[in-house]
Amino acid sequence: MQLTLEQVSEMAPDASAAAAGKKLAPLKNWESLGRSAEAIWGLCLGSAKYQVKVDLSNLGYHCSCPSRKFPCKHVLGLLMLSASSPEALGEGAPPAWTADWLERRRQRAEKKAERSETEAARPVDEKARQRRVDQRGARISDGLQRFDLWLKDLVRNGLAAAETRPASFWQEQAKRLVDAQAPGLASRVARLAAIPRASRDWHARLLAEMGRLKLLMHAWERIDQLSPELQADVRQLLGWTAPQAELERDGEPVFDRWVVLGQWVDDEDRIRAQRSWLIGRNTRRTALVLQFAAPGQAFAEAIVPGAEQEATLLFYPGAEKQRARFHDRRGAVESVTARPPGHASLEEMLSAAAAALARQPWLSSFGVVLHDVSLVPHEETWLVRDHVGQALPLAGRDHWKTLAISGGGLIDLAGEWDGYGLRPLGLFLDGAYRVA
């Protein structure tokens, strides 16, 4: 494993943990350091001696300290030490406290795999299953019908009134949709609250999103007429996620050398949602890995922007597969040293997005890599400009760090395109990755 200090800092749950980790990084705080092909470990001399270990294949970690931050400062310190002076960790066999932990992890993973296999193989009571499916379908249909009336009311009386509505106006509807077991639709409705007044053309944006929700409901009414892939998409969009066992069966495993393009965390709700975009070096496919965690808790998988690893991702079923999760991370996690595949021009990026939308019209964002672009700063809307002089707006206004690093020259930019603007997530310059 070879991560940069910046990447390790990005793993920290907050700035103070990163600073505390940095303080622990000097060699004098450590004893019994070592590394093997699978893991790194060390004893950190804090207020007690803590056993710190990191599994290199997936950056899983453990520390014997009582901290409630994940990763704790000791884990961050070990990773920073290993990043800044790798020679300090000699090759060797792991001590018992590391070997045991690795073994337990392996057993747990195997047990999990076994369980999902047996679950998949277990004969299901087809009748009972069908009854449950029908019940849920009926509840969703009910909820959607009521929501449909509300939506029509809104457009009948005019969107002008929406401008002054409080957030609760939208949240009330979202809550009802959660009760109707359509949490996916609910969170899309909750996000409508942010549109009014946010931009000059907010009413067009609001109407567009309302129209797409209407299309989704329309699709739900005719779900039997759709292809199995689109059916899966519609269910997912409504929030009717397939059980893990079904995902194992229907998901598409894709092995590749996956590059983490960047991520952002949405922590407006009680649950923090992490969105990470990845791209495969060989398949050129992009994947969106979503993770959820309670505040202060760690995300289950350590996904580090600018790192790459040979792994198998399991894509959720759908007409245009985007969402995925890690299935098997075996290769070493390494820092990016060359730019990943990407679009040569903005037009190429837009036509790829259009092609994807033709297959699945509800896609709301795309992870993209743009080769050889530059930033154009502007008081109102920043632009990203490709080498033929075409430009698209950037989302947000604070891209100073990216501009400073690029110096106005050409960079390879990774970001999330939502149809209106590109949100920069990371950039590649001289082979190295930087968080944007």
CB nearer to other proteins: pick between 124 and 161: 161
Which DSSP symbol is given to 63? E
CB nearer to other proteins: pick between 100 and 221: 221
φ, ψ at 342 (rounded to 5°) = -165, -175
Min CB(4)–other proteins separation in Å: 7
Residue type at position 298: A
Min CB(9)–other proteins separation in Å: 8
Min CB(331)–other proteins separation in Å: 25
CB nearer to other proteins: pick between 332 and 356: 356
Min CB(415)–other proteins separation in Å: 15
CB nearer to other proteins: pick between 298 and 383: 383
The whole-angstrom separation of Cα 129 and Cα 198 is: 45
CB nearer to other proteins: pick between 256 and 386: 386
Residues 6+ apart with CB under 8 A from 284: 341
Which DSSP symbol is given to 323? B
Min CB(369)–other proteins separation in Å: 16
Min CB(162)–other proteins separation in Å: 9
CB nearer to other proteins: pick between 327 and 359: 359
Min CB(2)–other proteins separation in Å: 14
Q: Are 24 and 328 in contact (CB under 8 A)?
A: no
Q: Are 226 and 237 in contact (CB under 8 A)?
A: no
CB nearer to other proteins: pick between 96 and 160: 160
Q: Are 131 and 124 in contact (CB under 8 A)?
A: no
For the chain, how far is it from start to end, CA to CA, in angstroms?
A: 23
φ, ψ at 258 (rounded to 5°) = -90, 130
Min CB(113)–other proteins separation in Å: 39
Structure tokens at 154: 């809104």
CB nearer to other proteins: pick between 22 and 74: 22
Residues 6+ apart with CB under 8 A from 322: 286, 287, 288, 315, 316, 356, 363, 366
Min CB(333)–other proteins separation in Å: 19
Long-range contacts of 86-91 (CB under 8 A, 24+ apart): 86/2, 88/27, 88/30, 88/33, 89/33, 89/34, 89/35, 89/40, 89/42, 90/33, 90/34, 90/35, 91/34, 91/35, 91/36
Q: What is the largest CA-CA distance in the chain?
A: 72
Min CB(15)–other proteins separation in Å: 7
CB nearer to other proteins: pick between 203 and 257: 203
CB nearer to other proteins: pick between 24 and 140: 24
Q: Which residues bind other proteins (CB under 8 A)?
A: 4-6, 15, 19, 22-23, 26, 84, 148, 151-153, 155-160, 201, 203-204, 206-215, 218, 346-347, 350, 353-354, 357-358, 361, 374-377, 383, 385-386, 389-392, 400-401, 403-405, 407-409, 419, 434
- Across 231-267, b (16+ Cβ under 10 Å) vs e yields bbbbbbbbbbebeebebbebbeebbbbbbbbbbeeee
